[in-house]
Amino acid sequence: MIVPIRRSTRTSRWALLPAAVILIVLGYLPYLAEQSTTNTMIDFFILLILGITWNMLAGYAGLVSVGQQAYVGIGAYGVLWLAQRGVNPFVGLPIAAVFCAVVAVPVSYLVFRLRGGYFAIGTWAVAEVFALLTIRSSALGGGTGTNLPGLDGYDPVLLGAMTYWAALAVAVLTLIGCYLLLRTRVGLALTAVRDDETAARAVGVAVPRAKRIVYLAAAIGAGGSGALLAISQLNIEAGNVYGVQWSAYMIFVVLIGGIGTLEGPIIGTIVFFTLQQTLASHGAWYLIIVGSVAVIMAVWVRRGLWGLLDRFGLRLFPVGYRVGEQPVPERS
């Protein structure tokens, strides 16, 4: 008997219909809910994008970066720079995201010379350098920031809905893009790198190439998030978009949800926003509780919340190979 090797699972196949329903409901949300709800969902999508792309770095490539806010800032200021030259911010969003990948190419050659904790510190230092360079530019508002031009003529309700749809589109494209990337040979290479980089090199895996592809993809995602942040807030200030809190949020949602899975950042983002909306009015207790949850998960539930479900064989986004449920008879 030949045991078939499959990628999809029963869970992933059955999840297609609910996923389509959820996507349709999310698309109609501006017609069903108040603008405050859609504004909250924009923030949700921004953090989800950051969590998914950071998880690719740390969970699949072993690149624990605390400097992804560099590309959040570049994406935000990229939209601002384009808008100052007459480009509609919604049109400038993908341009700014791609520009982040262009910037990430030389940066990757610099930070990839570092390993472990040195890599993490190096990425943070790069983010600080970009922040300082931005602050020195008076055309970009300097240290006090500036307003985003090009959206003054829009009705506020329409602008809120367009921003929401843009955030939803970027989040869906990011999730699908990461899923498809991880199902390619690059994804297989990253799995080998994550398990044992030395062994992966020994069997011929192009480790630097695989890592660089993921690093550039993560830069595009962070840049898109920064562009969405600029459009949603209509004001860009370096201390906000280059703030290290963005890396803290990314790490939190991935740690809570489950590192090394595409489902984990989704669960983690939901938990984060639930805690935020529930506890934000409690002042310092909010930070204490969120920090305590992170410590508990790191110590006792290292695979995250999705890891607890994964023991039952659940896979919504299967990117690896698995043994099929039914054996296939050999042909005579």
* pLDDT, tens only, 80-138: 999 999 999 999 999 999 999 999 999 999 999 988 889 999 999 999 999 999 998 88
pLDDT at residue 103, rounded to an integer: 96
pLDDT at 323 (0 to 100):
54
* Contact (Cβ atoms closer than 8 angstroms) between residue 96 and residue 223: yes
State how far the Cα of 170 lies from the Cα of 94, in Å rounded to an integer. Answer: 9
Backbone Cα Rg of the chain: 21
Average pLDDT on 186-211 reads 81
Look at residue 10 in the predicted model and tell me its pLDDT.
63
The secondary structure of residue 8, as a DSSP letter, is -
Buried b (16+ CB within 10 A) or exposed e, 112-128: beeeeeebbebbbebbe
Lowest average pLDDT, out of 9-23, 104-118, 169-183, 287-301, goes to 9-23
pLDDT of residue 259: 87
Q: Is residue 215 predicted with pLDDT exceeding 70?
A: yes
Instruction: Tell me the C-alpha distance between 315 and 34, whole Å.
Output: 34
d(CA 53, CA 71): 12
pLDDT for 324 equals 53
Q: Residue 306 — very low, low, confident or very high, per pLDDT cuts 50/70/90?
A: confident
pLDDT of residue 286: 77
How far is residue 219's CA from residue 50's CA, in Å, rounded to a whole number?
A: 9
Confidence band for 327, pLDDT divided at 50, 70 and 90 = very low
Q: Over 50: is that where the pLDDT of 178 sits?
A: yes
Angle at CA 32, nearest 5°, toward 30 and 33? 70
- Residue 258: Cβ-neighbour burial (10 angstroms; 0-12, 13-18, 19+): buried
pLDDT digits (tens, 9 = 90+) for 274-297: 888 888 777 777 778 888 888 888
CA 246, 256, 54 angle in degrees (round to 5)?
45
3-state secondary structure of 147: strand
Specify the pairing of strand 5-6 against strand 322-323: antiparallel
How confident is residue 18, by pLDDT bands cut at 50, 70 and 90? Answer: confident
Please state the rounded mean pLDDT for residues 305-325.
67
Extents of the domains making up the chain: 21-244
In this prediction, residue 331 carries a pLDDT of 44
Helices (H) and strands (E) in the chain, counts: 15, 4
pLDDT for the residue 69: 94
Query: What is the b/e burial string over 5-38, where b = at least 16 CB atoms within 10 angstroms of the residue's CB?
Result: eeeebeeeeebeeeeeeeeeebeebbeeeeeeeb
Q: In this structure, are residues 123 and 251 in contact, taking their beta carbons and an 8 Å threshold?
A: no
Determine phi and psi for 5, rounding to 5 degrees. Answer: -105, 120
- Residue bearing the bigger pLDDT, 6 or 263: 263
Residue 97's pLDDT is 95
How many CA within 13 A on the CB side of residue 294? 17
Could you tell me which residue, 20 or 317, shows the higher pLDDT? 20
